[in-house]
Structure 1
Amino acid sequence: MRAEEETGRVTLAQVADEAGVSVSTVSKVLNGRQDVARPTRARIERLLELHGYRRAPGSAGEAPLIEIVFHELDSLWAMELIRGVEAVAKANTAAVVLTESGTRHAPGPEWLDGVLRRRPLGVVLVFSSLPPEVKHQLRSRSIPFVVIDPAGDPEPDVPSVGSANWSGGVAATRHLIECGHRRIAIITGPEDMLCSLARLDGFRSAMGMAGLEVDPGLVAYGDFHVEGGYRHALELLGRPDRPTAIFAGSDLQALGVLEAARVHGLRVPNDLSVVGYDDVAVAPWSSPALTTVHQPLREMAEAAAQMLLSLRDGGNPPTRLELSTSLVVRKSTAPPPEDA
């Protein structure tokens, strides 16, 4: 029995004995090998969980990699997160592995087999939550993980890094109100994502604090993509009582709003004000330059990677870290038309 395969509570030999298999079979399960029958794998996993098995950090075979997992890589904010993780990895002489898997809620099952074989220093998951069995499998191999901007309310034992989405929603809406707008629409993100709902709650709170009612017809749930912003904005701007301002829950959706305004023959910001969210690299270069809420994406990724390495080294970082957001005023907002 190698020292790195001992936990002080149970050894692989003990697990193998209880499971009625060889030590090498247990080792194959721990290393993510595919040549173990599914019922046998499940039996071994149950015993590992029952005994609270943990592989010692720094075990032989650990790769100097930080893995970052997205459900989709084709986005501007993904690049900011990648740069943040890369900066921390480089400072710690590690490389970065990018993986696209599953839905925005959890990575696919095929990813787990791969990560157990790769044995990275740790895993950063974006817009993901983890089923209990996945959490245990990662922990039993001493592969720490951190979730960035989780899709739902993260469980207390899941380390996560997010941003002040509610405050960002308040700041965006308050800015439009201070410009003089009263009919303000919002195109937030998906209904089943915590960040979307928090930005919407911030919008509602700012409207309420200003004594303004929220028209349910001016609330839309998008998908954080250009197409979603365009589609919803076409509908909103086609109303006879169209809004004079739109708060888009992402910069990509805001770009879709700008195109929908053009299709309707509206000038931004003369006829319509638009606020985005994220402050991705394209925001200052849109036409007009986009007023938006700056979400510190790169800093969030750096914090997640640092938290990951702290966990790997036996540290006790905070379970939940939330970074502040700020409003960046550019050229896409102005007072409403006098006849509005």
Structure 2
Amino acid sequence: MDTPTIYDVSRLSGVSTATVSRTFTTPDRVRESTRRRVYAAAEALHYQPSAIARAMARQQTDKIAFLICKEGATILDEFYASICEGVMRRANGTNYQLLISTAEEWTRTAQSKQIEGVILAGNAQADLISEFQRQNIPVVLVNNRAAGFNLPCIVADEAGGVRQVVSHLISAGHQRIAMLMGRFSPYVTSARYNAFLSVMRENGLSVDESGALMCDRDIQSATEAALRLLSRPDRPSAVFAFNDVLAAGVMKAARRLGLRLPEDLAVVGFDDSSVCPMMEPELSSIHVDCRRMGELCMEHMAALLDGAQDVPRLTVVPVNLKIRASSRAAI
């Protein structure tokens, strides 16, 4: 029979290898219920604590990976960089090191990296999630929910944000409200699209196919789509854009057509990025507390590594609309 390894103890006890290590080296840092599970697994496997300690000295890394799962992403992406900042805030002062990368880059170089947990930010693919689970590595998702996986997920209140946008525009007198959708993850796209239709219908307003356009996520694609939308005889009086880059494209198209903002067209974005107060007029947008989302990621990950069984599977972070000049004037 093969000699049991540290990973056998980890699998049998249902905790990470980092937690197994702490249980035998610094047991005061591990909750009692977790210690009992680890001790029971080690006893069942006839594994000696001293052997575990030696194995962990050779193999333990105490590293957590933060991977941005977005096509063409870089670690400088403002939205995910802000989430990562929250993760780092919570990681500081702990024994964990944080590795930051994109999912694309990670898959090319991960053979040399040993990690205890991974935070997947954005549109993580099922095969990537499955691979980490196969290695018994705890996974936390942020800004995404993955069907078929029972994982802790931290998301912004997408539906609540859309409801705030539409309610604000209706209260300002708008009835012809269009939506410009970017090619985002299926989760984000579906959540915002369905919420938009729901709120519009609740207020007796309809959205035809030409009033909900899809485009790529860059400003050129957004501008071209907005030009088509705003050139219609029954053009909308307000546009809700899926993020601030798309909203900038709408504003650019409006100026090309000689429309005044916000007198002829109101525009609202999503994410409240750093460019919002730099635009003219300043852009109204849904503020997402990315740093709080990151803090929750690290809190949930630390709990998983400590063997907690009660980590929430869904945590929704509230959002709020920042009203600025691009949508403030009434019709």
TM-score (norm 2): 0.77
The 1:244–1:323 alpha-carbon spacing in structure 2 relative to 1, beyond 3 Å, is same
Distance 1:282 1:62 in 2: 42
**1:80 maps to which of 79, 82, 107:** 82
> Per the alignment, in what secondary structure is the counterpart of residue 7 of structure 1?
helix
How much has 1:269 moved relative to structure 2? 1.0
Amino acid at match of 1:63: T
Aligned to 1:218: 211
How much has 1:4 moved relative to structure 2? 1.8
Given that residues 124 and 147 in structure 1 are in contact (C-alpha distance below 8 angstroms), is that contact kept between their aligned partners in structure 2? Answer: yes
Aligned to 2:275: 282
Distance 1:144 1:8 in 2: 11
Unpaired runs of 5+ residues, structure 2, are 13-51
Distance 1:307 1:287 in 2: 40
Aligned to 2:294: 301
Given that residues 272 and 286 in structure 2 are in contact (C-alpha distance below 8 angstroms), is that contact kept between their aligned partners in structure 1? Answer: yes
Distance 2:115 2:10 in 1: 23
Aligned to 2:18: none
**1:96 maps to which of 91, 98, 108:** 98
2:124 paired with 1:129? yes
The 1:307–1:181 alpha-carbon spacing in structure 2 relative to 1, beyond 3 Å, is same
Matches within 5 A, 1:180-329: 180-190=173-183, 193-316=186-309, 317-329=311-323
Higher helix share: 2
> Per the alignment, in what secondary structure is the counterpart of residue 9 of structure 2?
coil
Distance 2:297 2:91 in 1: 11
Matches within 5 A, 1:43-54: none
How much has 1:224 moved relative to structure 2? 3.8
Aligned to 2:46: none
Q: Which range moves more in the overlay, 216-225 or 307-316?
A: 216-225
How far does the alpha carbon of each residue in 1:299-318 deviate from its partner, in whole angstroms, 9 at most, with x for none? 11221122112111111211
| Alpha-carbon RMSD | 2.7
How far does the alpha carbon of each residue in 1:12-56 deviate from its partner, in whole angstroms, 9 at most, with x for none? xxxxxxxxxxxxxxxxxxxxxxxxxxxxxxxxxxxxxxxxxxxx9
State the number of aligned residues.
283
Q: Which range moves more in the overlay, 245-254 or 93-102?
A: 93-102
> Per the alignment, in what secondary structure is the counterpart of residue 267 of structure 1?
coil
How much has 1:217 moved relative to structure 2? 0.9
Aligned to 2:37: none
Given that residues 123 and 185 in structure 2 are in contact (C-alpha distance below 8 angstroms), is that contact kept between their aligned partners in structure 1? Answer: no
> Per the alignment, in what secondary structure is the counterpart of residue 333 of structure 1?
helix
Identity %: 28
Amino acid at match of 2:9: T
Aligned to 1:61: 59
How much has 1:5 moved relative to structure 2? 3.8
Amino acid at match of 1:232: A
**1:118 maps to which of 113, 122, 126:** 113
Given that residues 191 and 221 in structure 1 are in contact (C-alpha distance below 8 angstroms), is that contact kept between their aligned partners in structure 2? Answer: no
> Per the alignment, in what secondary structure is the counterpart of residue 91 of structure 1?
coil
TM-score (norm 1): 0.75
How much has 1:3 moved relative to structure 2? 5.1
Given that residues 188 and 220 in structure 1 are in contact (C-alpha distance below 8 angstroms), is that contact kept between their aligned partners in structure 2? Answer: yes
Distance 2:185 2:131 in 1: 26
Amino acid at match of 1:84: G
Given that residues 269 and 285 in structure 2 are in contact (C-alpha distance below 8 angstroms), is that contact kept between their aligned partners in structure 1? Answer: yes
How much has 1:227 moved relative to structure 2? 3.1
How far does the alpha carbon of each residue in 1:262-301 deviate from its partner, in whole angstroms, 9 at most, with x for none? 2222221121100000112222222211111112222112
Matches within 5 A, 1:134-153: 134-135=128-129, 137-150=131-144, 153=146
Distance 1:306 1:188 in 2: 32
Given that residues 63 and 118 in structure 1 are in contact (C-alpha distance below 8 angstroms), is that contact kept between their aligned partners in structure 2? Answer: no
How much has 1:330 moved relative to structure 2? 1.2
Distance 2:320 2:159 in 1: 11
Distance 1:254 1:214 in 2: 19
The 1:336–1:241 alpha-carbon spacing in structure 2 relative to 1, beyond 3 Å, is farther
How much has 1:242 moved relative to structure 2? 1.3
The 1:76–1:128 alpha-carbon spacing in structure 2 relative to 1, beyond 3 Å, is same
How much has 1:209 moved relative to structure 2? 1.4
Aligned to 1:20: none
